[in-house]
A and B are shown apart, each in its own frame.
Chain A
Amino acid sequence: MEITPRDRFWMSFKPFQLIRFVVLNLKILKGVNASKRA
C-alpha cells in the first residue's frame, strides 16, 4: 500500500493525531479489558 501525499498530511496533522492518540488509548483499554488477564 502506497502512502499518498494526503496520507502524509494526516499522519503529521497534530490536531487529528491528538484525536487518534485518544482513540488508540481507548482501543487498548477495550482490548485489555476484554482479554482474560486471569
Chain B
Amino acid sequence: MAGPNGMVKVDATYGLAYEDLIRNPDAWPERYQNPRYPEIFAAGIAFAPPGPVSQPHVNPNGMNITSAPPRTGMVSGIIGRVVALNIVDLVKRGRMTHGERMTEMYAACIASMGDSLWDGSAATIMIYPVVPDFRRYPNEQGRDLFVTQMEMGLAGAWMKRMIHSTFMHKLQGRIGWRLIPE
C-alpha cells in the first residue's frame, strides 16, 4: 500500500525517469486513491508523488538534490476537496466524478514579513500549474508566465489579511463559501 518512505501509493504512474515524467503530465495522480485498496485515499503530504518537479542534481559530494512537489497549504486543501467530493460521490452514486492533477492545479503562498496594513510586508508566490506541464506551456518553465511569479511588498500584507478573512468565511460555510479558492 505504501512505498519504502511510508507514503501511500495512489493512482500515479510510478517508476518513470525524470525525462519521461516531464513529458507525461498524466503520470501525476488525479483521484489520490490507492489502486489496491480502493477505500483508501491519501491527501496532502500522505500520498507518494511519482517524482521530482524539476531536474534532479548531484552535488560534488555525491548527495542527491531533488525538489519534491509542494503538498501542504493550498495544494493539500485542493486535494482534500477532491477526495472529500469523491467519497460523497461513492456513497451517493457509487462512482467518482472529481479529479485534479498537480499538473492542472493552481497554488498561492503568502509569507508574512510584518502584518501591519500600513507598513507591513509579505512575499506573495503564485504558481500555475504547480507541476510544470510542458505540453500546455511549451516555455522553459512549463508554466503560465502571467500567473507564475513572486514579489514582495505592502500589497502582500493586504493579500494576507484578505486571505485570512476570506478563509475564515469559507471555513464557517457562510454565503458564497464555495466560490473562495482553498
Contacts and interface: CB of A to CB of B under 8 A. Distances in A.
Given A17-B155, A21-B158, A30-B146, A35 B106 contact: yes
A20 B98 CA distance: 34
Contacts of A30: 144, 146-147
B105 to A, nearest CB: 6
Interface string A4-38: 00010011101001101100110110111011111
Interface residues on B, range: 20 to 34
Contact of B153 (A12, A31, A36, A38): A12
B100 A14 contact: no
B106 A32 contact: yes
Contacts of A14: 154
Most A C-beta atoms less than 10 A away, residue of B98, B99, B106: B106
Most B C-beta atoms less than 10 A away, residue of A3, A18, A34: A34
Say whether chain A's binding surface is mostly helix, strand, loop, or mixed.
helix
A22 B68 CA distance: 31
A14 to B, nearest CB: 7
Contacts of A12: 119, 121, 153-154
Interface residues on A, range: 20 to 34
B132 interface: no
Nearest to A32: B181
Contacts of A24: 124, 126, 151, 155-156, 159
Interface of A: 3, 7, 10-12, 14, 17-18, 20-21, 24-25, 27-28, 30-32, 34-38
